Amino acid sequence: MKDRIYISIVDEEGSKQFNLHKVAKKIFFYSIATLFVLIVSGFLLMTYLMKQVQDISATKNEMIQNYKNTFYQNQDIKKNIDSKSQELIDITKRVDDLEDIVNLSKNTDDPILYNTQNLQATPEQKKLLLQIVPNGAPTNTTAKIASVKLRPHPSKGVYGVDSGIDYIVPLKTPVYATADGIVDLSRAGKRGYGKFIKLTHAYGFSSMYAHLSEILVKKGDFVHKGQLIGYSGDSGNSNGARLYYEVRFLGGYQNALDYTQWGEENFDSIFEKQTHVHWDKLLWAIDDLRQIKSHLSSSEG
């Protein structure tokens, strides 16, 4: 009797009694508890899955938005590239037109026919010209000099380009500025001219020193004639240790050898060799500059 439970149910028809075994009671209780646990677990699982679905949906929407942003950015970049490409084409055409006008692309400077026999420079003019126009050798070392026409040009890569000259000198040979000027370019390339320096001088002259092993000046520096600016080397397309040297006037190549052989002792020789330069007008400009400087000095006094 101890293992049984009696349950009485009273209704309008009378009273009824039922008895349950305690084991059945336990089974009933555990069933209810299990059902409750399943319901709660199911609810928690559904909540977790719904959260995962929401996170996945949010991630998907974010990825779609990122894709749209990237797509529109790529479209803008493509438009910019197309625009810049067209600008580059236009600039290239303009440069080609300019080269045709000044006839620099073909490097065919026609000599100016005028009488230089009676052209005389005063001592002051000589002194100033030899200070501001490239003259003399860029190195003090005795060296073999060769025309660049005999080897592939450093930047154009073809033979026969009439440009500068090569000084066949050992590595680390000191290189000096051949006139007062401003450092227009100072670069360390791996090809072409390699490490090189370009100086801009007065009245349209410039000089270049290439295939260097070391550069001692930077863009914008003012240098004096005879100042150490670097050391020779074999950088770029050099074909061995050397110093490449060139002189230009208004962008056109000059015979650099004429300028390296020019000095105070043979000053007038340059007038006969470089007839494409208006030396008479250059001397007049120097006179004007000297007079202005003299006038300013007297005014300050």
Q: Name residues of the chain where pLDDT drops below 70.
A: 1-26, 85-118, 275, 290, 292-301
Res 117: pLDDT? 57
Q: For position 261, what pLDDT does the model report?
A: 92
Task: Identify whether the C-beta of residue 149 lies closer than 8 Å to the C-beta of residue 104.
Answer: no
Compute the distance between CA of residue 226 and CA of residue 141 in angstroms, rounded to an integer. Answer: 14
Q: Which residues are within 8 A (CB) of 248 and not within 5 positions of it... i.e. 6 or more apart? A: 205, 206, 207, 208, 254
Q: Could you state, in order of their start, the residue ranges of all structural domains in the chain?
A: 4-71, 123-300
Enter the tokens of residue 143: 């060296």
d(CA 102, CA 63): 57
**Residue 97 confidence (pLDDT):** 46
- Quick one: pLDDT at residue 287? 76
Instruction: Yes or no: say if 178 and 206 are a contact pair by the CB < 8 Å rule.
Output: no
User: For residues 256 and 243, what is the distance between their CA atoms, to the nearest angstrom?
Assistant: 13
d(CA 163, CA 223): 24
* pLDDT score recorded for residue 63: 87
Bridge-partner residues for 186, per DSSP? Answer: 197
Mode of pairing for the β-strands spanning 205-215 and 243-249: antiparallel
Instruction: Give whole-number Cα distances, 162 to 152, 159, 165, 178, 292, in Å.
Output: 11, 9, 9, 20, 39
- The pLDDT of residue 59: 86
Claim: this prediction has a pTM higher than 0.75? no
List the CATH code of the domain at 123-300.
2.70.70.10
Polymer length of the chain: 301
Contact 182, 222 (CB under 8 A): yes
pLDDT at 21: 59
Contact 89, 250 (CB under 8 A): no
